[in-house]
Amino acid sequence: MPGTTRCRIKAARFAQDAGRLAAALPVALALLLGAAGAQETGPLTIERFGSFHVGGRNVEISGQPIREYMPTTGGALNRIDPNGAYIVGAMYAQYMIPAAQRGTAPLMLWHGAYLTGATWETTPDGREGWDHFFLRRGWATYVTDAVERGRSGWAMVPEIFREPVFLPLQNPWERFRIGDGPGSFARNTTAPGTQFPTDRASYMNFMRQVVPRFLSTDEDVTAGYIALLERVGPSVVVAHSQGAAFAWQVAQRRPELFRALVLVEPAGTGDMAQAARLKDIPQVFVYGDNMDSRWTAIRENARGFAAAIRTAGGQVDEIDLPARGIRGNSHMVMMDRNGDQVAQLLQDWLAAHGFWR
């Protein structure tokens, strides 16, 4: 019958079209994913960027002798009276605002001990850092140098700050789980499957950014972070090591200034007695592997603190990287060769909790 014939022809054509569509879908999907990948490696589109300093306190110094010194070769002798007023404890911040914002709050990147905001800017072997990673996903990022680090400036020693601690070359190699424990720097041996770039040039690049750490500035650092959050507004804070401990402690003082806490191998905790003050802030912390007894104890302390927050009604998630099949991470997770894989887990966590659109 003519009508039946036409139906059969249409059905055959539909089947052919469906077959072509099915064959084309993988190609289209590959092109789409390729375009997304290109956006993650191509030029960044920044609406604006800049820097500022916040915080600080005034200190009066007296009883110091007048000094004379030659400031430059071929210059004139300078005479300076060090007595008077000083501002100390100010904090430096650099911000990058992408043209298309997708984060629902500013994202802050706080570094660890002996380090500066350079932690987040690039890796020792020249790859992009997590600042780039989150910028490319539409987050407005704020990278800071904590009080007494980098561009935040120092204060008089010992009149205001006590003498700082400096790290010799072997210390981070052995303590940050790059090497396989004590003596590994001299042996030039690494932790099993380490993802940190361990060629000498890369490690020297890392050590060039290591700075002194003062042991008498915690209150100034805390005040600096509070001043930063007060200026920028409630934020998602991604913090590493000592910076993660500060993040917990600052959040206990001013929980209304935090949207979420993302803690990368926290090297300390907050005040256990005030754990309930963190119950309304979604939180996640992450640790890698190759743990020695010291790092195992640090992680267990973090787990105990997280348990206290959960008991108070809060939400704290833990990402155990080896349990996810991600292995070989040093303490400097963001600099490891698989660092972006870890950053993606954190990005996924933030998106799942409604902080990314």
pLDDT of 14 over the 70 cut: no
The pLDDT value recorded for residue 20 is 43
C-alpha distance across the termini of the chain, in Å: 56
Q: Which of 28-37, 182-191, 333-342 has the lowest mean pLDDT?
A: 28-37
Measured CA to CA, the distance from residue 354 to residue 198 in angstroms comes to 37
Count of alpha carbons within 13 angstroms of residue 346, beta-carbon side: 31
pLDDT of 351 over the 80 cut: yes
Strands 67-69 and 78-80, by their bridges, are antiparallel
Q: Is 296 helix (H, G, I), strand (E, B) or coil?
A: helix
Q: Which of 46-50, 159-163, 192-196, 223-227 has the lowest mean pLDDT?
A: 159-163
Measured CA to CA, the distance from residue 56 to residue 221 in angstroms comes to 9
- pLDDT over 70 percentage in the chain: 89
The pLDDT value recorded for residue 41 is 76
Averaged pLDDT for residues 43-54:
96
- Burial of 278 per CB tally in 10 Å (0-12, 13-18, 19+): buried
Chain-centre distance of CA 45, in angstroms?
A: 21
Tell me the pLDDT band of 343, cut-offs 50, 70 and 90.
very high
Peptide bond into 158 cis (omega under 30): yes
Strands 258-264 and 283-287, by their bridges, are parallel
Measured CA to CA, the distance from residue 272 to residue 309 in angstroms comes to 9
Q: Which residues, in sequence order, are bridge partners of residue 109?
A: 143, 238
The pLDDT value recorded for residue 219 is 97
The pLDDT value recorded for residue 9 is 38
The pLDDT value recorded for residue 70 is 87
Tokens found for residue 295? 């790092």
Q: Which of 35-49, 82-96, 247-261 has the lowest mean pLDDT?
A: 35-49
Q: Which of 18-32, 72-86, 170-184, 192-206 has the lowest mean pLDDT?
A: 18-32
